[in-house]
Structure 1
Amino acid sequence: MTTEATLKLMQWLSPAYPVGAFAYSHGLEGAVSEGHVRDGDTLSDWLGDLLTHGGARSDALLLACAYRTETAESLAEIDDTARAFCPSAERLHETDLQGAAFCRTTAAIWDTALPSLTYPVAVGHAARLNDIALDLTLNMYLHAFLSNLVAAGQRLLSLGQTEAQQRLNACGPQLRRTVDAALSGTIDDLFGASFAADIASMRHETQYSRIFRS
Structure 2
Amino acid sequence: MAETLQAEALLTLVQMLSPSYPVGAFAYSHGLEWAVQDGAVADQDALADWLSSVLRHGAGQADALFLAAAYRADNPAEIDVKARAFAASAERLKETVLQGEAFARASAAIWQVDLPPLCYPVAVGHAARLQGLPLRQTLAMFLHAFAANLATAGMRLIPLGQTEGQIVIRALAPVCLEVAEAAAAGTLDDLSSTAFLGDIAAMKHETQYSRIFRT
* TM-score normalized by the length of structure 2: 0.96
Q: What is residue 146 of structure 1 aligned with on the other side?
A: 147
> How far has the Cα of 1:2 moved from its partner?
3.3
Letter in 2 for 1:3: A
What are the superposed Cα offsets for residues 100-142 of structure 1, whole Å, 9 maximum, x if unpaired? 0000011111210011100000001100100100011011101
Look up the equivalent residue of 2:160 and give its one-letter code: L
> 1:55-204 alignment to 2 at 5 Å?
55-69=59-73, 71-72=74-75, 75-204=76-205
Unaligned runs of 5+ in 1: none
Match of 1:48 among 48, 52, 59: 52
What residue is the counterpart of 1:21 in the other structure? 25
Q: Distance in 2 between matches of 1:164 and 1:33?
A: 18
* Aligned partner of 1:35 among 36, 39, 47: 39
* In 2, Cα distance between equivalents of 1:80 and 1:97: 15
CA RMSD of aligned residues (A): 0.9
In 2: Cα distance, 1:53 partner to 1:99 partner: 22
Distance 1:14 1:174 in 2: 19
Deviations 1:22-45 (A, max 9, x none): 000011001111111111111011
**Which amino acid letter does the alignment assign opposite residue 92 of structure 2?**
R
What secondary structure is seen at the aligned counterpart in 1 of 2:170? helix
Question: How far, CA to CA, are the matches of 2:42 and 2:80 in structure 1?
Answer: 34
Task: Give the fraction of aligned pairs with identical amino acids, expressed as a percent.
Answer: 59
Mapped partners of 2:31, 2:123: distance in 1:
22
Shift of 1:173: 1.9
Match of residue 214 from structure 2: 213
Deviation, 1:180, is: 1.2
Report the Cα distance in structure 2 between the residues aligned to 1:18 and 1:158, rounded to whole angstroms: 25
Relative to the length of structure 1, the TM-score reads: 0.96
Equivalent residue pairs, number = 211
For residue 3 of structure 1, report the CA deviation from its aligned partner: 2.2
SS in 1 for 2:211: coil
Q: Secondary structure in 1 aligned to 2:204?
A: helix
Structure 2: gaps spanning 5 or more residues? none
Shift of 1:158: 2.8
Q: Deviation at 1:76? A: 1.4
- SS at the partner of 1:171? helix
Deviation string 1:66-110 (CA, Å, 9 cap, x unpaired) is 1111x22xx212111110010111110000000000000111112
